Structure 1
Amino acid sequence: MGSSQFQFFIVSLFCFFSFIVSQQPYTGSTTADCPVAHNSTGNLGYFCNTPNRSCQSFLTFRSRSPFNSVSSISTLLGSDPLELSRVNSVNASATFPPEKLVLVPISCSCSGQFLQSNLSFTTRTGDTYFAIANETLQGLSTCQTLISQNSNISVTSIKGGERILVPLRCACLTKNQTDMGFNYLLSYLVVFGDTVLHIVQRFKPFGADNGATLEANELQLGSTIYPFTTLLIPLKTEPSSTGMIEPTSSPPPSLPASPPSATKRTWVYVVVAIVGGVILLAVIGAVVFFVCARKRKKKTEHTTTEIDSFESTGKPSEKKLDGESSSITLESISSAVQSVKAYTFKELQDATDNFSSTHLIKGSVYHGTINGDSAAIKKMNGDVSKQINLLNKTNHSNLIRLSGVCFEEGHWYLVFEYAAKGPLSDWIDSNGSSNGRILTWTQRIQIAVDVATGLNYLHSFTNPPHVHKDLKMDNILLDGDFRGKISNFSLARSAGWEEGEFTLTRHIVGTRGYMAPEYLENGLVSTKLDVYSFGILLIELLTGKEVSELHRKENLQLPELLEKVLDEKDGKEYLSHLMDPSLEGNFPIELAVLMMIIVNRCLNKDPSQRPSMDEIVQSLCRILSSSLSWELSNTSV
């Protein structure tokens, strides 16, 4: 045995011994690799390595219809509804708002080699083990576990109405952890944008500790964690929803030692009242200003649409048209403003050195620093109430966050979180204007997952569902970790509730090359508009070229180009020729083909045949998992 092999043997033996007698290994991205069990990683469950073979444990779960009430969540996860309502400080008949983090108390016990909480689940037509584990259960189980526990049911032909055994991922404390004063283990569901530091911060009031959490999951400082996986959080006291700290989009600052005094709170109320009165007067002035301006010169609703945007007159329709209007009402603006922070113009001037050109990012967007935090400040005209209302009721890491507004001399100033890496368009350009900034294959797939997840949230988890209507490279911003955030909701509008439902409009507005044919030709508005635009975005993300440039260089329209890419004989070679030269051939061609298959489905001329964003997210997550494995194997070579 060579020295390197001996070292590997010793390290492997040590790792094996450590998880048998102590902590649990974090599963990582292998949970999406359904055909392979990955036994040694703990994908089949947390190992039975604790002094107690049963214990009181906790799970987290995010409220999503139809599992959005105490009754439905407790039934799904086998929890006592009275206990669930108690730790979440609600009554037993309560319904939770969308994406609310719910604490779920359960009994956890050893079953053979693994700790788990077993429940029975009735399948629905079209279910897959991957969908049950990652969609219904959000990652509280794995497809590998379900396959292992239900070997009598075919993986490829699950029928509706079948009863399957579902082991939920829970764990009990090790002796080390009890000696350190911990009394509970919580299985936290990781979502996009989470870091260990953010998660621990949320549970700090219950004794959560960063070092203990890393140790419990056999992670190192700075380790990557993945959505649809669970992270064990050791807690010293029982968690409750009222004590949790709401996370911020960036690592949260340390909390003050004590809450503000009553006197300070009184001053806050006074200041808010004064600012509110000033804003109300400003709003009234704004209404008068805009009404007069509209009499002098007609303007369209979407004056803020940027590069390559255009408007055209749609065909009249005999069907009932939607009531899109550019009118501004006092009620619409004042109700929107009341729900977000109101900044004074002086605060924004101080933040940007009086809107100095050195702070200009692009167009009318400035970079500023407010209370020590970076912000993007966008100067706008027109009715912004719809955009404010939409952004104020959304809370998702893949949608740009609105932190406040200001109104001054007829102009609105919207204050957003700052995306340090700028628009995606600055990073994807094979003509060289990206100034040497290059995204790797895996970064591109992660950004695609981020954008798809953000769109899925808009389509499925806002009330009512919304369509972005202007998805393009310029409207995808990248934060410091190259995670994608959808921005510019000036064209966003509500959509129908049901799959395939649409409305009609005469007001055709958007960006050339991204608009779906049914919208451009007939004014049909549905969530499938964003699916089409997402397909275009994927092509540009992979090839580094705008679609119009692809048409010109290849002398082919999209249907013919995709047909050549997906040709069984020569497709891979042609796709390699199309891919962004900055990748220098450093990408897995098989996964690139899978991406183009998704593109082909997104660009189907028939909107009803395009996939939902939920389907796309699942497909992209599998590709991301495979990409991470590919990247790891390439790095280790």
Structure 2
Amino acid sequence: ALPISEPERMGSCSICLSVLILVCFPCLITAQQAYADDSCRNSSSALGYACNGVNRSCTAFLMYRAQPPYNNLSSIASLFSANVSQISAISNMSETMTLPTNTEVLIPATCSCSGKFYQVNTTYLVKPGDNYMLIANNTFEGLTTCKAIRNNKISPSLADIFPNERLTIPVRCACPTKKQVGEGIKYLMSFVIQPGNAIASIAVKFGADVAQTLEANQKSEQDSVIQPFTTLLVPLRAAPNGSAVNLFPQTSSSPSPTPSPPSSPTPPSSSPPKGSSKKKWAYFGVGVVVGGAFVLAAGALLVFVFLRTRKSKGLIVPSQSQSFEAQEKAITKEPETEPFEFLQSISSIASLKVYSIEDLQAATETFGSDHWIKGSVYMGILNGDRVAIKKMNGDVSKEISVLNKINHFNLISLLGICFDDGVWYLVYEYASNGPLSDWIYQDSPDQKTLNWGKRMQVASDVATGLNYLHSYTTPPHVHKDIKSSNILLDGDFRAKIAKFGLSRPVRGNDGQYTLTKHIVGTKGYLAPEYLENGLVTPMLDVYSFGILLLEMLTGKDVAQLYEGVKVYLSEVLAPLLGNENANLKGFIDPSLGELYPEHVAMSIVVLIDRCLRKDPASRPSMNEIVQILSKTLTTSLVWESTSASTSSL
């Protein structure tokens, strides 16, 4: 063997060391940050983001949502030891004005290395009843972690905290890496994830590149699942401003009793998740009790209020579709004006705002034509916010009881009620872009349309809302009337599931799935097992969701889709499935042109086929559908971003 010289030996060692670094420490090469998926986990990423940036100190941004007692800029600045004038300037808000709960506030902060991790340090005086989880998840809303606070204690050997103890709170932040600086990134924002959020939608909201946001958090199109109340780093090319934040969210007059669940598609557990606080679960328990009390009160109200016969009404269905029959049971009630004081007692039990008819008349200019939206729905202005006010006759207890117990971004919020002269008025949050049915059909008279990315966002939103109903409400519920006209779009084209009049618990008192002879719903959307046997399970909504996806993909309503179908609607998918040379162009909504990723569209076809299977046991759960659509949405937005960049060259 030839002898190896000392320089050669040193060169070999250098190469080996480089290979070892590449294999064992890829984060030092890519210089990105690990996503911590639980605010109280024991991994090192829970201590903070690694000091791997170009600078050991930089300006970073934090996103905080106003909540009492931190509901003005001065108190928020004090909590984070930040400059209130800078917060006021970037948010374009007064320093002392009281902010509605959940108003988003941008906080400029100096982010510095402390040992191995970046952090913004602030101090906090422990209050009676505080614990690590309450401080991390409630007070600081996930911008710090249990482990980071414990690790930062002056006497870390003393695990417990005590009232009036002053803690140093390490707030999560980071500085751009060399790679990010080379890509034009100047700032990183710590954004606390909310239920229903997806990485792609967060990036788009702040004008960030989706692929860069995934990379900044060591995520990918295949691994894009995120958890509520954890932080996501958003890479920004310029300082953010108030135009991207939700400055004045519409909120009910009192907190909703049931907390939103994780947007992660993992199945629900009987034990609380690690990152949730005792306070949130206390709210959950109160919500269950309050909801039950409200149902009893609403039932008592209806006994006193209604004794009039209501004529039986047929459901609005496509006239061309004659495959199924639907009927609605007649309800016999007689209305009688109920004193306002009695409604006020309902409000105190149900945590709902009770309006007088004068309030609603003032809000709508006496239900004037300029405020009319459609049917018996009017747009009104209450406390400076736009709301939707719907007139309803008959039994509304089911819809009120369901909506009062749920709290999720993708389900329409019931803000208040009114009863006058035998008529109910329900006040909802306002969805400015109206029903999805106005946007997806080829023959739409207004020729409105949605691009591929927005369609995938709507699909993901609807799936997330249904997953909440199926897995996170107590008891679990099915909607039973999922269709395009019952999906409302807000100003950002985010979907809200509406119309809960047919919703019901999944299981009876004996814990078994329920059977019914009273078949109600919309023709074309009803699952075979429900039509044939009256079986009510979550798979009923899964089937309807498959129909909705098919309409969104083709631009055709369910009546058109049934033309030429012999038995089951899934027959329309047969030419595409198992055919490598399948022509999607003749199947996809022509208004999309070719502006969609074909492989993603094909995966949606496969998902629709699974949703429409005759055997309900063969259909995917909404948990699985949320996982699939989360990846689909991320891939679609990355594709759109790449296509836009290519076309601009």
* TM-score, normalisation: structure 1: 0.58
Cα 1:535–1:283 change in 2 (3 A) is closer
Instruction: Provide the rounded CA distance (Å) in 2 between the counterparts of 1:45 and 1:576.
Output: 46
- Quote the offset at 1:578 in angstroms: 1.5
8 Å contact 2:547–2:558 — kept in the other structure?
yes
Could you tell me which residue of structure 2 aligns to residue 526 of structure 1?
Answer: 537
Aligned-pair CA distance for 1:324: 12
Change (3 A) 1:86 1:604: same
Q: Which residue does the alignment assign to 2:232?
A: 231
2:279 is matched with which residue? none
Q: Does 1:594 align with 2:590?
A: no
Equivalent residue, structure 2, for 1:418: 430
Q: Distance in 2 between matches of 1:544 and 1:455?
A: 22
Alpha-carbon deviation of 1:88? Answer: 6.2
Match of 1:376, SS state, is strand
* Helix, strand or coil at the partner of 1:623: helix
Deviation by residue 1:95-125 (Cα, 9 ceiling, x = unmatched): xxxxx98974223999xxxxxxxxxxxxxxx
Pick from 111, 114, 119 the counterpart of residue 52 of structure 1: 114
Structure 2 unaligned segments of length 5 or more: list them: 1-26, 38-47, 57-112, 121-129, 152-169, 177-188, 207-212, 216-223, 235-244, 252-296
1:494 match: 505
Aligned counterpart in structure 2 of residue 376 of structure 1, from 379, 388, 392: 388
| TM-score normalised according to structure 2 size | 0.57
Deviations, residues 129-153 of structure 1 (Å, cap 9, x unaligned)? xxxxxxxxxxxxxxxxxxxxxxxxx
The answer to whether the 8 Å contact 2:514/2:535 transfers is yes
Does the 8 A contact of 2:415 with 2:428 survive in 1? yes
Residues 572-611 of structure 1: pairs in structure 2 closer than 5 A? 572-573=582-583, 575-611=584-620
Q: Distance in 2 between matches of 1:103 and 1:328?
A: 56
Deviation at 1:579, TM superposition (A): 1.0
More displaced 10-residue stretch of structure 1: 541-550 or 329-338: 329-338
| Partner secondary structure for residue 582 of structure 1 | helix
Per-residue CA deviations over 1:357-404 (Å, capped at 9, x if unaligned) read 221111111111112111110001122122112111211110011111
Contact 2:386–2:429 (CA under 8 A) maintained in structure 1:
yes
Matched, 1:543 2:544: no
Gaps of 5+ in 1: 1-19, 32-43, 59-80, 91-99, 111-168, 176-184, 200-209, 211-216, 220-225, 234-248, 256-280, 315-322
Out of 244, 247, 252, which is 2:248 matched to?
A: 252
> Structure 1 CA distance, aligned partners of 2:538 and 2:550?
19
Which residue identity is paired with 1:503? T
Aligned residues: 429
Whether contact under 8 Å (1:404, 1:415) holds in the other structure is: yes
Q: Equivalent residue of 1:374, what SS?
A: strand
- Classify 1:588/1:45 alpha carbon distance in 2 versus 1 (closer, same or farther; 3 Å): farther
Shift in alpha-carbon separation, 1:351–1:537, aligned structure 2, 3 A:
same
Instruction: Summarize the Cα distance change of 1:634–1:432 in structure 2 as closer, same or farther, 3 Å threshold.
Output: same
Paired residue for 1:463?
Answer: 474
Q: Give me the whole-angstrom Cα distance separating, in 2, the residues matched to 1:346 and 1:409.
A: 13
Alignment-derived partner of residue 306 in structure 2 = 290
Aligned to 1:347: 359
Q: Deviations over 1:451-503 (max 9, x none)?
A: 000000111111111100000000000111111110001111111399x9521
Q: Kindly tell me: are residues 171 and 102 of structure 1, through their superposed partners in 2, closer, same or farther at Cα, counting changes over 3 Å?
A: closer
1:506 matched to 2:517? The reply is yes
Structure 1 residues 177-226: Cα deviation after superposition (integer angstroms, max 9, x where no partner): xxxxxxxx977234435999999xxxxxxxxxx9xxxxxx999xxxxxx9
- Aligned-CA RMSD value: 4.9
Q: Percent identity?
A: 43
Cα distance in 2, alignment partners of residues 552 and 253 from structure 1: 44
**Could you report, residue by residue, the CA deviation over 1:601-632 in whole angstroms, capped at 9, with x for unpaired residues?**
11111111111101000001111111111111
How has the CA–CA distance of structure 1 residues 564 and 496 changed in structure 2, closer, same or farther, with 3 Å as cutoff? Answer: same
* Aligned mates of 1:569, 1:410 — CA distance in 2: 61
> Quick one: distance in 1 between partners of 2:143 and 2:542?
30
- How far apart are the structure 1 equivalents of 2:299 and 2:506? 29
In structure 2, how many angstroms separate the alpha carbons of the residues matched to 1:505 and 1:617?
Answer: 28
* C-alpha distance in 1 between matches for 2:557 and 2:526: 14
2:625 paired residue number? 616
Question: Which one-letter code corresponds to 2:645 in the other structure?
Answer: S
Structure 1 residue 589 displacement after superposition: 1.5
Paired AA for residue 560 in structure 2: E
